[in-house]
Structure 1
Amino acid sequence: MIEGGSEMYRVDDTMTRIAQNAGAHSARVFTTPTGLFIGIDGPATVQIAPVSQRGIDMEKVAGVNNLSRQFAAGQLTLSQLHQALETLDAHTPFFPVWLQIIAAGLCSTTLMVIFAQTYDWFDMPLAAIVGALGFAAYYKVSSLTKLQFISELVGAFVVGLTAWLGVRLGVGRDINNIIIGAVMPLVPGVAITNSIRDMLAGHLLSGMARGMEAILSACAIGVGIAIIFRFF
C-alpha cells in the first residue's frame, strides 16, 4: 500500500485489522514511508519489512483493501490472504505505457486551460505533445535509476526544452501557458495531499517525511524548468 501511495493511517489501520481478524488482538503497528514494524504480545514476535520503492498505484491500494475486507468477512484464510497479497504485488493490473503517455498529454492540455484561465486553442496541441514527451522522459529515466528526483528533473527539463523549441519554431505562442500545463503530470500532488492527511491523522513523522519528499520533488521540477529560462 505504501508502494502504491496510500496514506500511512490507512496502512496502519489495515495491518491492525488483519492482525485482529487473525486472532492477534494486541498487535502493535508502527509505519514509516521506508519500513513497517509490527509486534504481537505473548511470544516475543516482531516482524520488520522494508519499503524499497514508492509511487502512485491506486489499483494496488484498492486491491489490498478488498482482500482485507474479504479476510475480515471470513471469505479467505490467513494463508490464502498471504498468497493473494503476493499475487497482487507481482501482478497488479496497470495501464500500458503508451496509454499513460497519451493520458499525460491530454491532462497537460486540460490543465493548461485551467491554470491559464483561457482557451488557448493555438497552444493546446503543443502543450499535449510537450506533456507527453516530458512524461515519457520521466518514465524512461525512472526505469534506469531509483533516484526519483533525477527522473523528475530530467522530465521537467524535457518539458521546458520542447516547449521552447515549439515556440521558436512557431508551433506555439505562449511558452508560460504551455509549460504550466505540460509540467503538471510530474507534480507530486498525491504526495502533498497524503502528507497533510497523515499529519492531520496524527502520523507526524510520516507526514513530515512525505512532505519533505514532495518539496524536494517540486524543487527538482523547478530546477529542470529554471535551466531552460536561464540558458535559452
Structure 2
Amino acid sequence: MTSTVMEQPLNSYHLIAQTCLLAGKIILQNGGETYRVEDTMVRIAASYGIADAQSYVTPTGILFAMDASVPTTRLIRISERSINLRKVSLVNDISRRISGGQLDVSEAHRLLTEIDELPFAYPVWLQVLVAALASGCFLIMFGGQWHDFMAAVLAGGLGFGSVVVLHRLVPAKLFAEFAASLLLGGLTILLVKSGLALDLDTVIIASVMPLVPGLHITNAVRDLMAGHLVSGLSKGVEAFLTAFAIGAGIAAALSFY
C-alpha cells in the first residue's frame, strides 16, 4: 500500500515535467522567444503545484528541473527549428487554460501532443505563391515600376521555393540559402538582359525579402532585452549568417553580370 501511495505522486510529477518540456519544445521549435519558453514552462509547473521549478533554455536545448523535494531533471535537445507561429499561439492558449485551472495535467499533455503532431499550417505550394506575390508587392513599395512586377514575382517564387527544396536535400541551411540566392540573382539578370525587367537592383532587393531572417533578428533583440544573453547572441549570429549567405549568393550572381 505504501509503495502505491508513493508511486502515484512520482508518476504525476514526471507527467508534469513532460508537459512543461513539451510546451517549451513546441514554442522553441516554431519561432518563439527564449524568455517565452522559460516563462511558459515555469507557469505551467506552478499551476500544478511545483512552486520552485527552474528552466534554462538555449536555441539548441532545454533543461528543466523540479524543486528540491522532487528530484526530477530533464534535458531535451532541439535539432531543427522553423517558423510556425500558429503552434506558438495554440500553446499559449493552453498555458492560459492551465493557469486558469481549466485543464488537468493528463488532458494538457494530450492536447500539447496533438499540437506537436500537427502538420505545417500551409502547403509548400501556397507558401511559394505567397512569397512570390509578396516579392511583387515589395517591388512596388520600394518604388519599382509595374513593368518589373512579374519579374519580381518569378524571382521571389524561385528563391523561396529553392530554399525549401534544397534544405530538404542538404541539411546545411546556409548552403541552401546561398544556392537559392544565386539562382534568384541569375534569373533576375537573365530577365533584365532579355528585356523582361528594367531595374536590376530593385527586382533583386524585392525578391530576396521573403528570405530575410526578420523574425530571427526580432527574437534576438527581444531575448537580449530580456537578459538572455546566450540565446540573444546565438540567434543574432544565426541571423547574420543567413544574411551573409543571401548576400554572398547575390554577389556571386552579379559577378557574372
Which residue of structure 2 aligns with residue 193 of structure 1?
A: 218
Which residue of structure 2 aligns with residue 61 of structure 1?
A: 88
How many Å apart are 1:145 and its aligned residue? 2.7
Contact 2:84 2:120 in 1 (8 A): no
2:247 is paired with a residue whose SS is: helix
Which residue of structure 1 aligns with residue 13 of structure 2?
A: none
Measured in 2, the distance between the counterparts of 1:55 and 1:149 equals 14
CA offset digits 1:155-204 (Å, max 9, x no partner): 21111011011111111011111100000100100000110010001111
Task: Give 1:198-213 correspondences, 5 Å limit.
Answer: 198-213=223-238
**Aligned equivalent of 1:110, options 137, 147, 169:** 137
Measured in 2, the distance between the counterparts of 1:141 and 1:33 equals 23
Which residue of structure 1 aligns with residue 6 of structure 2?
A: none
**Structure 1: 5+ residue stretches without partners:** none
Task: Between the two structures, name the one with larger relative contact order (CA 8 Å, sep ≥ 6).
Answer: 1
How many Å apart are 1:56 and its aligned residue? 1.1
Task: Give 1:9-48 correspondences, 5 Å limit.
Answer: 9-41=35-67, 42-48=69-75
Measured in 2, the distance between the counterparts of 1:139 and 1:92 equals 16
Using structure 2 for the length normalisation, give the TM-score: 0.87
Contact 2:144 2:202 in 1 (8 A): no
Which residue of structure 1 aligns with residue 102 of structure 2?
A: 75
Measured in 1, the distance between the counterparts of 2:181 and 2:192 equals 17
How many Å apart are 1:93 and its aligned residue? 4.8
Q: Which has the higher helix share?
A: 2
Contact 1:59 1:93 in 2 (8 A): no
Contact 1:16 1:27 in 2 (8 A): yes
* Identity over aligned pairs, percent: 39
Is 1:215 paired with 2:245?
no
**Structure 2: 5+ residue stretches without partners:** 1-26
Using structure 1 for the length normalisation, give the TM-score: 0.96
Amino acid at match of 1:53: E
Contact 1:6 1:61 in 2 (8 A): yes
Which residue of structure 2 aligns with residue 140 of structure 1?
A: 165
Deviates more, 1:30-39 or 1:41-50: 41-50
How many Å apart are 1:71 and its aligned residue? 1.6
Is 1:226 paired with 2:248?
no
2:28 is paired with a residue whose SS is: coil
Contact 1:157 1:227 in 2 (8 A): yes
How many Å apart are 1:218 and its aligned residue? 0.5
Question: When the two structures are aligned, how many residues end up with a matched partner?
Answer: 230
